[in-house]
Chains A and B, each alone.
Chain A
Amino acid sequence: MDILIDREAKTPIYMQIKKQIASMITTGKLSANFIMPAERTLSEKLHVNRSTVIKAYMELKAEGLVESRVGSGTVVLAPLSRDSSQERMYIPPLRWSQLESKRVIKSNEQTINNILSVFENGKVISFASGVSSEDTYDLELLKKLQSQIIDKYKEKVFMPTPVDGSIELKGTIRSYLQESGINASTKQIMVTSGSQQAIEFFAKLLIEPGDVVLVEEPTYIGAIQAFESYDARLIGIPMDEEGIRLDILESCLIKYRPKFIYTQPDFHNPTGMPMSLTRRKELLKLAYYYNIPILEDNPYGELYFSGSPLPSLKSLDSNDYVIYVSSFSKTISFSLRVGYVVASENIINRFIKFKQITDIQTNTFSQFLIHEFVSQGHLRPHLESIREKYKKKRDLMVSELSKGDIEGMEVFVPNGGYFVWLRLPNNLRINELTKNLGEQGVVVMPGEVFYPKFSIEENYIRLNYSYPKEKDIKEGISRLIMCIKKCSTNAMKSKYSIETDINPYL
């Protein structure tokens, strides 16, 4: 892009720049969607003030020749846009992160483990976890059940159960599922070591290297890890307040011909958002139309704070398109690692073979413990009690956050589950924030880890409210707000120095 500047001329420099660019656009020298050089780059090239270039670009925008787009910069518009009699053509934003090859280096492999490690440090206030709080366990009840189990099952407690789970527990899961509208036979149910294992098996069963999997963006880290370990290509589909965006999903179904869709319709991790009933039905229709299976992950569905839960995709599906994965990790105990999967017999039989070569069976004692807990009727009252506890904590966290009164911050208030999704001012740098928080003894999950490509364009963090004590929520959120304010002010001050030079590695 050659621009000549005549410093002696009467025409102001910004107008000279503007006119030359405008003529390049109208003559077609610069085509639609051409990304204009960044203001700073151009100003350096032309040896003019940055403000001069900014002014030139503003003129071009005013004439409808270019527009600014988040993430791309200033972009040349199609000539059509200058015809005022017509609606401007809609150009969907190009999602580069979808197109990037797998070779793009990811840097956060260790994130989950780093965050789990924090538990070893008792003084830290952690909003990063995804576990229940200690006061939700009825230890006396668990002790009683343990003793009963040993009396009742004796040496069976120490023997392996069948690979697909103890017959007793599978029966219990079957009737439990029936209550929420999922009718499955025990042959369509398998006990897994947490729902993570079922997700991994599904990946193992279906994914050939390079196969595309469509996921919500953001999505659960464990699913990203499981799919990528089989060399899947993950394509993220943005969400809105009703859940996954079906218009974008459909275009990706056509464009990528994915192997399957992975979704968490209830209290989605990390955003906490539910999928609306209409959206659920429409999603199923799309799956049927394009002949694509759905992996439905539902660990949080029982933890709703008001109203009644929406029907699961699995309960709406009468054609065996949906594989349903859930667990007792978020309701009874995470560490017992008892989850389950509901699928057609054909799939379950494959999973059984995987299980045989993966860990043979799920810990017997845990299976009996969960079985007795649920079949003796302790689950319902337990759920009621934890819903109440978590609702209180959510309310507290949300009200503490709103005290911050920070411009550009938005709280996504969930109606259930474990997490608050928090949008932060755009100018703030997350690295700086997490570092500051670390010094203050507070841990949060940075939003980028939930994006398959770490390609997040806005600032988000995920806050867990189920684990921390109420006083820690108060204290931790107040420290968080302080750190956000500090980083935000720093960012303002150094507004013009954020663009740093990227030196070549030599």
Chain B
Amino acid sequence: MSNMFARRAEFVKASEVRELLKLTDASEMISFGGGLPAVETFPIEEMREICDEILSENGAKAMQYAISEGYAGLREIIVKLMEEKGISVGIDDILITSGSQQGLDLSAKVFLDEGDVILCESPTYLSAINAFKPFYPKFVEVDMDEDGLIPEDLKKKIEENCNIKFLYTIPDYQNPTGRQMSLERRKTIARLANQYDLIIIEDNPYSELCFCDKTLPPLKSFDTEGRVVYLSTFSKTVCPGYRVGWVSASKEIINKYILFKQGTDLHTNIFAQMQIVRFFEKYDIKKHIDRSISIYKSRRNAMLDTIKKTFPKEVSYTKPEGGLFLWVTLPEYMNSKELLVKAMEKGVAFVQGSAFFPNGGHENTMRLNYSGLQEEKIIEGIEILGELLRNEVKSMLHKN
């Protein structure tokens, strides 16, 4: 039957993430490949109570139907969450999605025609690339530095390209680099969007996971013309297995998202939505997140310390102030794919960086996740990588 497949089916390549999820099952492997929160942070006992209460109080309703927009109680909570970030929306401006991944898929469906240009950070989130690709867009990568996307380069790319549909950006603790966009740049980019009539898809799954007090207002909070579509999720703050996220956008846009949502899966699991609502009502979410943060922070520290001790000086890396990932740039002559093969022989895995560049290249980069592993495993794995890297540098010097 494969000769019947639509062209878009060919675009979805075997996901590196999926292959890596498989690796996380191989219990012997120290995998820096995943993107999962720490198991220790899951509110198991709280959820047991909550489930019981939901069935006692809501009864059959939890097992029945919800409207496509999502459970109103949950949307009310989201309105408050967004308010705290300086975004004022009503519950009708919100659509509950099955995780923020669905938000990306719906964004593609709502906006993309063949040949449209997507502007994105270079590098950017792998599954966003994969969600957009089946709709045949052209990716134009915008340079970034430690302060995130560079507005000057964005402006240049806007002027150089026509048919631009939207800018896709992760301003906070970006996946894969862990970088945070500066406040000044957020304002500038919001202004540029107005000036050039640009839609922005702001993907914000990690902003709560902040290791210092530097939470910055989202791009959406600077949106004066309803041109920012905001995606977020409870996967990183409550737990990933629930698949509950949301999209917020102006009425005109969100209505289109709702229509596509119906055709996609009708609505998101209502029981899961109710569980999250209860969780917010009964427990202090801040406390819960703080517990996650302190775990992630010490894991990040363990990783950074070990990198500092063991990686050769030719290797550079980001020092994320939040989120789950750290980004490593190797000397130009190294290839992270070859390194991965060697590392896996020694029981360590990571994701090669080239996967995060929609137009390929950058073979000398890699992404490391620190949230899913215990500290001693992190130290052990990084030491192995460090030794491999030192050997690579040595053998290069030898050749010269």
Binding site for B on A (CB under 8 A): 109-110, 112-113, 116-117, 119-120, 129, 131-132, 134-137, 139, 142-143, 146-147, 150, 154-155, 157-163, 193-194, 196-197, 200, 204-208, 211, 222, 225-226, 228-230, 259-260, 293, 320, 332-337, 344, 346-347, 350, 352-354, 356-366
Contacts and interface: CB of A to CB of B under 8 A. Distances in A.
A344 B5 CA distance: 14
A337 B18 contact: no
Could you tell me the dominant secondary structure of chain A's interface residues?
helix
B102 A293 contact: no
Interface string B96-111: 0111011011000100
A143 B56 contact: yes
Contact of B265 (A120, A337, A353): A337
B36 A159 contact: yes
B15 interface: yes
A119 B67 contact: yes
B265 A333 contact: no
Most chain B CB neighbours (cut-off 10 Å) among A120, A131, A208, A360:
A360
Interface of B: 1-2, 4-9, 12-15, 17-18, 21, 36, 39, 42-44, 47-48, 51-52, 55-56, 59-69, 72, 97-99, 101-102, 104-105, 109, 127, 130-131, 134, 239-243, 258-260, 262-272, 275
B271 A336 contact: yes
B65 A334 contact: yes
A335 B271 contact: yes
A469 to B, nearest CB: 12
A193 B265 contact: yes
B285 to A, nearest CB: 15
B44 A154 contact: yes
A155 B42 CA distance: 7
B251 to A, nearest CB: 14
A346 B9 CA distance: 12
Given A157-B241, A357-B105, A358-B264, A293 B59 contact: no
B263 A200 contact: yes
Given A196-B266, A356-B15, A134 B61 contact: yes
12 contacts: A109-B259, A116-B68, A150-B48, A158-B240, A205-B6, A207-B6, A259-B4, A357-B12, A359-B97, A359-B98, A359-B101, A359-B105
Contact of B14 (A194, A334, A353, A364): A353
Could you tell me the dominant secondary structure of chain B's interface residues?
helix
Given A137-B59, A147-B48, 5 more contacts: A137-B63, A155-B44, A158-B242, A361-B243, A366-B271
Contacts of B21: 160, 162-163
A265 to B, nearest CB: 20
A336 B51 contact: no
A289 to B, nearest CB: 16
A207 B134 CA distance: 12
Contacts of A204: 6, 8-9, 134
B263 A347 contact: no
Contacts of B12: 350, 353-354, 356-357
Most chain A CB neighbours (cut-off 10 Å) among B39, B242, B266:
B266
A334 B268 CA distance: 10
A143 B264 CA distance: 30
When A and B form their complex, which 10 residue pairs have the shortest distance between CB atoms, in order from nearest? A364-B241, A158-B239, A134-B60, A333-B63, A225-B263, A359-B98, A335-B270, A158-B42, A353-B12, A137-B60
A136 B44 CA distance: 28
A160 B36 contact: yes
Contact of A161 (B52, B241, B263, B269): B241
Nearest to B134: A204
Contacts of B18: 163, 352-353, 356
B63 A335 contact: yes
A304 B339 CA distance: 59
A119 B102 contact: no
Contact of B60 (A135, A222, A346): A135
A132 B64 contact: yes
Contacts of B9: 204-205, 350
Contacts of A150: 44, 47-48, 51
A113 B258 contact: yes
Contacts of B240: 158-160
A363 B1 contact: no
Nearest to B104: A357
Contact of A158 (B101, B241, B265, B270): B241
Contact of B62 (A136, A162, A259, A335): A335
Given A346-B2, A353-B15, A365 B241 contact: yes
Given A134-B60, A137-B59, A356-B130, A146 B241 contact: no
